[in-house]
Structure 1
Amino acid sequence: MGEVAIELALKFLAHDKFVRNDCYVVSVSGNAAASDTSIREESEFLSWMEASRGVIDNSLLSTFSSLPESETREVATYSCMSGGKRWRGLVALATAEIFGNTGAAVPVACAVELAHAASLLLDDLPSMDDAATRRGRPCAHLVYSRASVDMAAVFMINLAYEVLLKNRLAKPENCISSALASARVANRMLLGQEHDLTQLTGGTVSKKQALEVARCKTGELFGFAAEGAAIACGANELQINAFYKAGIRLGIAYQIADDLADRFGDPDALGKPTGMDGEKQCVGNVLSEAEAREAVRRLRESAVSKLAGFNSNSNRILQLIEHVKLPE
């Protein structure tokens, strides 16, 4: 039968194939493993999530409206402002709260959401997943010209770089560092998409292959959300690495949980259709349900461990880790 999923996950993650280096520190006050958050704390956290999504959405709309009108801009706006949960942007803002400089992370939050929207735009194309709907609306390639859709993906990636480089609340050298880090992550996301198309379709897919695709396609952008925010806030190299690695683990856990929700979740409770992955050999389908649940638990614990030593009055990032929910 080979290694169980979590052993593969931890072995793969511990190898840190793409890491910047092998150093990390930190400790955030609070206990991310605690699941018995008080009703008041839970309500306050959900209010923070809603308010933070509003900050991200307003910043994105302001960015789009500052650009010349074109069908490409319209496609980008249609794709990016389609009601996503903004988890990646929230990771950036939660990280910045630890450093007491949320404003510096707003451009990072916008950049990761632009990159995410661009990846979904490409993912839906007939040459990729050939999807018909996204978040309850027709996919962009069914609404706009194919040329505009193709250009909109490039447009959003370039816009993400511009937003990072024009961050007025970060030092110029940190703006450059965050843009370079985002370019690195974009290339890894492309690698993940290539593996998705070539490795996860047909034949037998190993658990390690599925985990690697989840890392590249989802984990890396979560990792950059935390890393980029730490860079913008002036964190040192050890801290930046810690948040990058915690973000990757959070991202993979999020992807596995999302895949499980697609398999076993209640559409009414989730607010979206389930069974969309079908027979696709994504990580949530390759792992057994028990393996997937254990993997999420261990990945969450591992993410928290990367942040064990960072003293802060904010525990937003730990609350986000705790809120990677599994279907009942």
Structure 2
Amino acid sequence: MAPEVFTRWAARTEATLDRLLPADTAEPRRLHAAMRHATLGGGKRMRPLLVYAAGTALGADEASLDLPAAAVELVHAYSLVHDDLPAMDDDDMRRGRPTVHVAFDEATAILAGDALQTLAFEALADAAAPAELRAGWMQSLARASGAGGMCGGQALDIDATGSQLPLEALQRMHSLKTGALIRAAVRMGALGAGADEARLRQLDRYADALGLAFQVRDDLLDIEASSEALGKTAGKDVAQAKSTYPALLGVDGARAKLGQLAAEMRAALEEIDGDCSLLQALGELAVRRDH
């Protein structure tokens, strides 16, 4: 069971997002409503929780982490809106409700994703924090989001559809598509606590293992869980001939890989001074989650 603090941090994130997002009573109403539909009232909030857990583990005040936590979630929400588009994964359900292009229309979904991404950087630029810290947050998030991170990983995923990548290439793809934003979330929390480069590298080891573990579990859930449990369409990876860990390693091999990554997370956290119990709990959640 997740610690109570995760519920509280998720609520803080929801409140910050609600404050940052434009009201759907203001023009352009359709765009604003789509942005709120994409962002509020759902999701695991794993990336914001990582910001809070990394920052507070190293001594940051949680209130100082509200904006970087929300910014990471805005970028994540934008990525999901675009991933679900007909030109990408072509999905009609996300978080148990219609995807943005289904609930609104495709053009509005594209614009909503664009606007969510830019809102993330506006929030960080306006944060009541030293300029050097704001720049560090924005640099971390930008590097994780672009061609050298999430977008690059998505491009590799599209290129690989219909074929099975070797393990090394599959891990590289997911270290960009899924892992880069998870690594940025941990880094942004640590930066908020004034972490030095050595501490950041230690946390990167944990985050890299967590990012891959999150994806391996996703791949397993795609074939083991129902659409109702997942809140999105199950079986999409098989239907679209995606490269996945179960396809490459088998189900038992993917589970063994998950166990290996869990051990790597624990080992990385043991090297860090400070109370990393909540980071460890988030790692365990990623490995054991059922949706």
TM-score, normalising length from structure 1?
A: 0.79
Q: Deviations over 1:195-235 (max 9, x none)?
A: 11111x12332222222221111111110000011112211
Which residue in 2 is equivalent to 1:181?
140
The residue number in structure 1 matching 2:12 is 55
TM-fit CA distance, 1:273:
5.7
Pick closer, same or farther for the CA change 1:251–1:275 going to 2, 3 Å: same
| 8 Å CA contact retained: 1:104, 1:167 | no
The more displaced of 145-154 and 302-311 is 302-311
**Aligned residue identity for 1:47:** E
* 1:291 correspondence with 2:253: yes
Point out which structure has higher relative CO (alpha carbons under 8 A, 6+ apart).
1
The match for 1:310 is 272
Matches within 5 A, 1:75-94: 75-94=34-53
Q: Which of 152, 171, 180 is the aligned partner of 2:112?
A: 152
Within the alignment, does 1:277 sit opposite 2:201 as a pair? no
Counterpart selection for 2:92 from 109, 117, 132: 132
Alignment match, 2:262: 300
CA distance, structure 2, for counterparts of residue 284 and residue 122 of structure 1: 25
Match of 2:199 in 1: 239
Aligned residue in 2 for 1:264: 224
Q: What is the aligned-residue identity percentage?
A: 28
Q: Are the counterparts in 1 of residues 151 and 177 from structure 2 also a CA contact under 8 Å?
A: yes
In structure 2, what residue type is equivalent to 1:302? E
| Greater alpha carbon shift after TM alignment, 222-231 vs 132-141 | 132-141
Task: Identify if the C-alpha distance between structure 1 residues 269 and 158 changes in structure 2 by more than 3 Å, giving closer, same or farther.
Answer: closer
Conserved? CA contact 2:93–2:233, under 8 Å: no
Letter in 2 for 1:108: P
Change (3 A) 1:46 1:284: farther
Asked if the contact 2:78/2:117 (under 8 Å) is kept, the reply is yes
Deviation at 1:145, TM superposition (A): 3.3
Question: Which residue identity is paired with 1:121?
Answer: V
Amino acid at match of 1:174: L
8 Å Cα contact 1:79/1:121 also seen in 2? yes
The aligned amino acid for 1:205 is: L
For residues 299 and 314 of structure 1, what CA distance do their matches in structure 2 show?
17
Q: What are the within-5 Å matches in structure 2 for residues 5-44 of structure 1?
A: 42=1
In the alignment, does 2:158 pair up with 1:197? yes
Aligned to 1:116: 76
For the Cα contact (< 8 Å) 2:35–2:112, is it kept in 1?
yes
8 Å contact from structure 2 (residues 262, 287) kept in 1 = no
Question: Match of 1:253?
Answer: 213
Maintained 8 Å contact 1:243/1:307: yes
State the Cα distance separating 1:253 from its structure 2 match. 0.2
Aligned CA distance change for structure 1 residues 76 and 327 (closer, same or farther; 3 Å): closer
Aligned-residue CA RMSD (Å): 2.3
Give the TM-score normalised by structure 2: 0.89
Distance (whole Å) between structure 1 residues aligned to residue 202 and residue 81 of structure 2: 30
Structure 1 residue runs of 5 or longer lacking an equivalent are 1-41
Structure 1 counterpart of 2:57, from 91, 94, 98: 98
How many Å separate the matches in 2 of 1:189 and 1:271? 22
Distance 1:327 1:275, change over 3 A: farther
C-alpha change, 1:263 and 1:218, in structure 2 (3 Å) is same
Deviation at 1:267? Answer: 6.2
SS at match of 1:202: coil
Displacement of 1:268 after TM fit?
6.8
Output one character per residue of 1:233-267: Cα deviation in whole Å (capped at 9) or x when no partner.
21111112222332121011011112112212366
8 Å Cα contact 1:175/1:232 also seen in 2: no
Cα distance in 1 for partners of 2:227, 2:8 equals: 25
Check if 1:323 corresponds to 2:285. yes
Alpha-carbon offset, residue 138 of structure 1: 1.4
